[in-house]
Amino acid sequence: MANPVNWFHISVKEVEPIAKFYGEAFDWKMKPGPGGMVFIDTGKGGIPGGIATTQDGSEHFPIHIYAATDNIEEQLARVEKAGGKVAMPKMPLPEGMGWIAGFTDPAGNFVGLWEQVPQPKVPRRRAAAKAKKKAAKSAKKADKKAAKGVKKAAKKAKKAAKKA
């Protein structure tokens, strides 16, 4: 599986003025998130993002990207094998949103990883739908047969009436 970029994160000292800026500058829709974070909807075709206060209190406010992965531990092992370094170990996100982790590439750039919580499989209803379709077909066939029988009986009654 490829690992698409599926999230960006802007770290700032104050969330509200920056959320207002991006909302006005790009018409992005803002929605409150957990812990004072603001979720960003960039619109059709864009990836979602977030704005939150910087975690380390530094003056440097980076913009991070996050790539999707099915397994953070395996992905971090691949990153290290390729020359990157784990910068943030796997940690849970609030409200069952999954887990995140991060690494630095050989040039020192931070890249985040996101592992989604597995979604429960919804039972397939093909068999029930198939049975329903089959029953409808049988009922239609029975209706046609009954209609034929009624026509046949009407013809017989007409013939009998003529003879009498």
Is 6's pLDDT higher than 70? Answer: yes
Give the HSE-up count for residue 148: Cα atoms under 13 Å, Cβ half-sphere: 6
Shared-domain flag, residues 26 and 52: yes
- Residues 6 or more apart whose Cβ sits within 8 Å of residue 11: 52, 53, 54, 55, 61, 62, 63, 64
Domain count, the chain: 2
Please give the average per-residue pLDDT across 136-148, as a whole number.
68
Shared-domain flag, residues 159 and 109: no
Shared-domain flag, residues 86 and 102: yes
Residue 157: the pLDDT is: 59
Q: Which tokens is 156 given? A: 């017989």
Shared-domain flag, residues 103 and 138: no
> pLDDT-derived band of residue 2, with 50, 70 and 90 as boundaries?
confident
Shared-domain flag, residues 79 and 23: yes
Convert the pLDDT of each residue in 94-110 to its tens digit: 888 899 999 888 878 78
Report CA 48 to chain centroid distance, whole Å: 12
- CATH code for the domain of 75: 3.10.180.10
Shared-domain flag, residues 70 and 141: no
> pLDDT-derived band of residue 128, with 50, 70 and 90 as boundaries?
low
Look up the domain containing 129 and give its range. 122-164
Residue 80: the pLDDT is: 92
> pLDDT-derived band of residue 40, with 50, 70 and 90 as boundaries?
very high
